[in-house]
Structure formats: structure tokens, C-alpha cells
């Protein structure tokens, strides 16, 4: 799959961040270290709908912040040149 694409991005939000990192590191090991990756992090705003327990009360929303990670994966330049014919 990665051989046919220039870039694959893995996204992780909150509790899924360790899984996203683990996935990329496993892919790197499986590909015999033939991929390179760049990591970006940020904070995203989430809006939760709060459903009241009492039917007579109004719905509410709560805003919160959550960490996110975005990992761009590419074939290493040498491998990309061999497979795709370009650097």
C-alpha cells in the first residue's frame, strides 16, 4: 500500500495517540526501516452534547480540549527512487 502512495498520514486523538505511535513504529520495523516519518501535534477543541437525566431540563453542550497527533509517513528517498523512479 505505501509503495503506491507518496504520503500516508496516521491521526490519533486523545487516548488513541499511543496506538497511532505504535502503529507507525511497527510499520517502520516491518518495512525494515525503509520509511521516514514526521510528527506534528496540536490541541483540538471538542464539543460534547450533554443529555439531561431529567426530561424537563434542556440539552447542554460542553467544550473541552484534547491532544492530537498527525504522523506523515513516506518511503525513504532511496527506496522511493527505486520503486517509483523518482526522488
Given a cut of 70, is residue 3 above it in pLDDT? no
Decide: 26 and 18 in contact? Cβ < 8 Å: no
Q: Which pLDDT does position 54 carry in this prediction?
A: 87
Residue 12 grid cell: 490519533
Task: List the helix and strand counts (H, then E) for the chain.
Answer: 2, 3
**Residue 1: its pLDDT value, please?**
52
The Cα–Cα gap between 48 and 5 comes to 35
More confidently predicted of 16 and 83 = 16
Domains delineated in the chain: 2-51+60-84 (3.30.110.20)
Considering the entire predicted model, what is its pTM?
0.77
The pLDDT of residue 30 is above 90: yes
Average pLDDT, the chain: 90
pLDDT tens digits, one per residue of 61-84:
999 999 999 999 998 888 877 776
Amino acid at each position: 500500500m505505501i509503495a503506491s502512495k507518496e504520503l500516508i498520514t496516521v491521526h490519533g486523538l486523545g487516548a488513541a495517540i499511543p496506538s497511532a505511535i505504535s502503529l507507525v513504529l511497527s510499520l517502520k520495523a516491518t518495512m525494515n526501516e525503509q520509511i521516514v516519518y514526521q510528527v506534528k501535534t496540536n490541541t483540538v477543541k471538542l464539543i460534547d452534547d450533554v443529555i439531561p437525566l431529567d426530561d424537563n431540563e434542556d440539552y447542554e453542550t460542553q467544550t473541552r480540549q484534547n491532544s492530537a497527533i498527525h504522523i506523515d509517513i513516506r518511503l525513504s528517498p532511496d527506496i522511493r527512487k527505486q520503486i517509483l523512479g523518482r526522488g
